[in-house]
Amino acid sequence: MLGVWCCETVLRVRSYLLRVQLEDRPGSLGSLAVALGSVGADILSLDVVERAAGYAVDDIVVELPAGAMPDMLITAAEQIKGVYVDSIRPHTGLLEAHRELELIDHIAAAPRDGKLQVLVDEAPRVLRVGWTSVIRLTDAGPERVVGSPGAPETQAAQTPWLPLDHAEALDADADWVPKWWRDMDTTLAAAPLGDPATAVVLGRPGGPLFRPSEVARLGYLAGIVATILR
């Protein structure tokens, strides 16, 4: 799923996050770097999302010259044999090393009644998603406990996937998903937060789909946060 932006957004944004799948062989990443450099892109950082037999999935943050169109990144990258651009979307800052540890430190240092807000505020940057919410299943139905600034105001009236006993990617086309979320082509993942009736939910408008490694990462993070909250 490749993001689409209006001209005003393109002119304003200079940094982009590319998720690319490429053959896991010597020289493939170097060839990709040369191809991106040929269109004026400056690689700011790279993070390995997933590695499997024969291929790797990487997140690459690049900066383009002012006024340059992001489509040229896709064209340049996919000229390389074995490279596929999974997604491209605006990026607001550099990827940071040890970002999960920083988030955990910030949550631990926050007042008890503010820990969940720190989690949802900082998780989008750490986990590269558009928004984060904490949802609790009550006798009256699901309720949002806290949400990040980008979390949609439209809430799910039902959450048939709760209670939840492990982290998983959610079916973004299911009937319970609000129409606004589907219209934004939002991919979803969730993990239990201390008890099966409470979950941290990630939303990624425009995709891409959550990789198994990303879901596992969410599960580990949610488990640590649950321990802090206890």
Dihedrals phi, psi of 103, to nearest 5 degrees:
-60, -45
Q: Which among 90, 120, 142 is the end of a domain?
A: 90
- Token pair, residue 183, equals 């219209």
Q: What is the CATH number of the domain that holds 68?
A: 3.30.70.1150
Q: Please check whether residues 186 and 144 belong to one and the same domain.
A: yes
Does a structural domain hold residue 2? no
**Is 187 found in the same domain as 108?**
yes
Tens of pLDDT, residue by residue over 133-171, are 999 999 999 999 999 998 999 999 999 999 999 999 999
Q: Is residue 1 part of a domain?
A: no
Domain that holds residue 47: 7-90
Q: State whether 161 and 199 are in the same domain.
A: yes
End position of a domain, from candidates 56, 90, 124:
90
CA-based nearest residue to 88, from 127, 60, 51: 60
pLDDT at 72: 92
Per DSSP, which regions of 97-215 are E strands?
131-138, 141-147, 168-170, 186-192, 198-205
The last residue of one of the domains, among 70, 90, 110, is 90
| Same-domain status, 86 and 108 | no
* Distance from C-alpha of 56 to C-alpha of 49, rounded to nearest angstrom: 8
Which tens digits make up the pLDDT trace of 172-230? 999 999 999 999 999 999 999 989 999 999 999 998 899 888 998 899 899 989 999 88
Read off the pLDDT of each residue in 53-81 and give the average, rounded to a whole number.
Answer: 89
Tell me how far apart the alpha carbons of residues 176 and 178 are, in angstroms, rounded to a whole number.
Answer: 6
- Residue 13: its pLDDT value, please? 52
Indicate if the pLDDT at residue 97 is higher than 60: no
**For residues 143-171, b (16+ Cβ closer than 10 Å) or e, as one string?**
ebebbbeebbeebbeebebbebeebbbbe
Quote the CA–CA distance of 13 and 93 in Å, as a whole number. 11
> Helix-strand-coil percent breakdown of the chain, rounded to 5?
30, 30, 40
pTM exceeding 0.75: no
Asked if residue 15 is part of any domain, the answer here is yes
Angle between helices 99-109 and 212-229 (to 10 degrees): 20
**Helix 115-127, helix 99-109: angle, nearest 10:** 170
Buried b (16+ CB within 10 A) or exposed e, 172-183: beeeebeeebee
Helix, strand or coil, per DSSP, at residue 167: coil
Residue 168 in domain: yes
